[in-house]
């Protein structure tokens, strides 16, 4: 029989929402990376299990632990009388009132302001018995809870989902949603607080993945929700470089409308136009030139 973590990833793969919820109630860490190197949320996104994704994203507002009640042992505030009942005797309840308060040295000769004494007496005479009773009862319960708090039963600690948790590849769930181009899942993740500009182990951002896969809608959605069009990844390349290097003309136009710089250079001083020309994407080349791309820029080796 596999571990609870194995059961969790199996439930995610099969879209079993109820089992995912039950495993969390058993105390499993829903952010723990599995054997394949992915987080549970990342695995759910890769399998495009929308119902499981929604269930996981909802696991972030519950209390981490819950007090199920308390026990009152048969001893009272007075440590010398452990056999007294839990309700407490009158003498024990009022123990704090009978304590002797000593006047600090050198202050015996000070006199109280008569007006203050009269005001204090008037306030105390309003409901003295009821106030003293509640105060004493509160002190008694506080003492009992302090002594018995260590035996309070606790539910298993419920881990809250971390929507920005990274896996062994330093990718968040949003990286996988962008790579798939699944706009519904992208929206769910962004609405839950997933960050749009986090790079993975190679500093690749979600926008670059969506652009490199030719996902027009996902690219537009990420830009609209705060993805930086000028963000640089490996070799200082941008999402526009990725789109033009693969001939995704429509995606390139979306990026340019979203603020991408048409003559941005990578670490080899190559522009998006240079990449489109070198790989023979004529339609992409025509679009870039029509939009004002400079045609005489040289790359690092002097090639145009």
What rounded mean pLDDT belongs to the chain? 81
pLDDT in tens, 32-68: 999 999 999 999 999 999 999 999 999 975 444 444 4
Asked if pLDDT for residue 10 goes beyond 80, the answer is yes
Nearest residue to 287 via CA among 301, 272, 300, 302? 272
Q: Is residue 161 part of a domain?
A: no
In this structure, the answer to whether residues 54 and 86 fall within a common structural domain is no
Q: Is residue 105 part of a domain?
A: no
Query: 214: pLDDT confidence band, cut at 50, 70 and 90?
Result: very high
Q: Is residue 257 part of a domain?
A: yes
Measured CA angle at 101 (ends 100, 102), to 5 deg: 115
Buried b (16+ CB within 10 A) or exposed e, 241-278: bbbbbbbbbebbbbbbebebebebbbeeebbbbbbbbe
In this structure, the answer to whether residues 128 and 78 fall within a common structural domain is yes
Q: Is residue 134 part of a domain?
A: yes
Q: What is the rounded distance in angstroms from the CA atom of residue 165 to the CA atom of residue 162?
A: 5
Give strand pairing partners of 67: 154
pLDDT at 27: 87
pLDDT in tens, 22-32: 999 998 999 99
pLDDT at 107: 52
In this structure, the answer to whether residues 123 and 174 fall within a common structural domain is no
pLDDT at 284: 98
Q: What is the 3-state secondary structure of 178-201?
A: HHHCCHHHHHHHHHCCCCCCCCCC
Lookup: tokens for 273:
């136009």
8 A C-beta contact, residue 78 and residue 84: yes
Q: Is residue 164 part of a domain?
A: no
pLDDT at 88: 44
Whichever domain contains 304, its CATH number is 1.25.40.20
Asked if pLDDT for residue 101 goes beyond 50, the answer is no
In this structure, the answer to whether residues 48 and 124 fall within a common structural domain is no
pLDDT at 249: 98
Nearest residue to 39 via CA among 3, 1, 12? 12
pLDDT at 136: 76
Number of folded domains that form the chain:
3
In this structure, the answer to whether residues 195 and 219 fall within a common structural domain is yes
pLDDT at 70: 45
Q: What is the rounded distance in angstroms from the CA atom of residue 34 to the CA atom of residue 88?
A: 54
Q: What is the rounded distance in angstroms from the CA atom of residue 31 to the CA atom of residue 166?
A: 9
Within 8 A by CB and 6+ apart from 16, the residues are: 52
Query: 153: pLDDT confidence band, cut at 50, 70 and 90?
Result: low
In this structure, the answer to whether residues 256 and 296 fall within a common structural domain is yes
118, burial (CB in 10 Å: exposed 0-12, middle 13-18, buried 19+)? exposed
In this structure, the answer to whether residues 78 and 146 fall within a common structural domain is yes
In this structure, the answer to whether residues 298 and 258 fall within a common structural domain is yes
Q: Is residue 162 part of a domain?
A: no
8 A C-beta contact, residue 203 and residue 231: no
Stronger pLDDT, 190 or 109, i.e. the higher one:
190
The predicted model gives 157-180 an average pLDDT of: 94
Lookup: tokens for 152:
């309070």
In this structure, the answer to whether residues 291 and 189 fall within a common structural domain is yes
The answer to whether the pTM exceeds 0.85 is no
pLDDT at 299: 65
Q: Is residue 87 part of a domain?
A: yes
The predicted model gives 110-125 an average pLDDT of: 53
In this structure, the answer to whether residues 94 and 31 fall within a common structural domain is no
In this structure, the answer to whether residues 49 and 137 fall within a common structural domain is no
Asked if pLDDT for residue 297 goes beyond 90, the answer is no
The three-state secondary structure class of 170 is: coil
Asked if pLDDT for residue 229 goes beyond 70, the answer is yes
What sign results for the dihedral spanned by CA atoms 281, 213, 266, 262? positive
In this structure, the answer to whether residues 194 and 275 fall within a common structural domain is yes
DSSP assignment, residue 127?
Answer: S
Q: What is the rounded distance in angstroms from the CA atom of residue 49 to the CA atom of residue 43?
A: 9
Stronger pLDDT, 109 or 260, i.e. the higher one:
260
Stronger pLDDT, 74 or 35, i.e. the higher one:
35
The predicted model gives 274-300 an average pLDDT of: 91
% of residues, the chain, pLDDT over 90:
61
The predicted model gives 192-210 an average pLDDT of: 97
Within 8 A by CB and 6+ apart from 50, the residues are: 184, 185, 188
For residue 150, the surrounding DSSP H or E stretch is none
Length of the chain: 304
Asked if pLDDT for residue 180 goes beyond 70, the answer is yes
Nearest residue to 31 via CA among 207, 172, 223? 172
What is the residue range of 298's domain? 169-304
Q: Is residue 184 part of a domain?
A: yes
């Amino acid at each position: 029989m596999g571990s609870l973590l194995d059961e969790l990833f199996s439930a995610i793969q099969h879209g079993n929402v109820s089992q995912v919820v039950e495993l969390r109630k058993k105390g499993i860490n829903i952010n723990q990376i599995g054997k394949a190197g992915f987080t549970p949320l990342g695995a759910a996104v890769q399998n495009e299990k929308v119902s499981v994704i929604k269930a996981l994203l909802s696991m972030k507002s519950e209390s981490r632990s819950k007090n199920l009640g308390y026990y009152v042992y048969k001893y009272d505030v007075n440590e010398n009388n452990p056999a007294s009942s839990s309700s407490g005797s009158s003498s024990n309840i009022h123990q704090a009132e009978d304590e002797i308060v000593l006047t600090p040295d050198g202050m015996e000769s000070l006199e109280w302001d008569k007006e203050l004494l009269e005001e204090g007496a008037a306030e105390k005479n309003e409901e003295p018995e009821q106030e003293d009773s509640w105060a004493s009862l509160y002190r008694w319960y506080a003492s009992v809870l302090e002594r018995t708090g260590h035996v309070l039963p606790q539910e298993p600690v419920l881990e809250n989902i971390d929507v920005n948790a990274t896996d062994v590849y330093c990718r968040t769930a949003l990286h996988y949603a962008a790579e798939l181009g699944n706009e519904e899942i992208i929206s769910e993740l962004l609405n839950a607080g997933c960050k749009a500009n986090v790079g993975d182990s190679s500093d690749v951002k979600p926008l670059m993945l969506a652009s490199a896969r030719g996902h027009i809608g996902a690219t537009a959605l990420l830009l609209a929700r705060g993805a930086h069009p000028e963000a640089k990844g490996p070799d200082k390349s941008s999402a526009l470089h990725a789109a033009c290097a693969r001939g995704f003309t429509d995606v390139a136009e979306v990026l340019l409308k979203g603020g991408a710089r048409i003559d941005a250079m990578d670490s080899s001083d190559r522009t998006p136009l240079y990449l489109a020309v070198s790989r023979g994407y004529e339609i992409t080349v025509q679009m870039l030139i029509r939009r004002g791309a400079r045609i005489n820029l040289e790359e690092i080796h002097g090639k145009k």
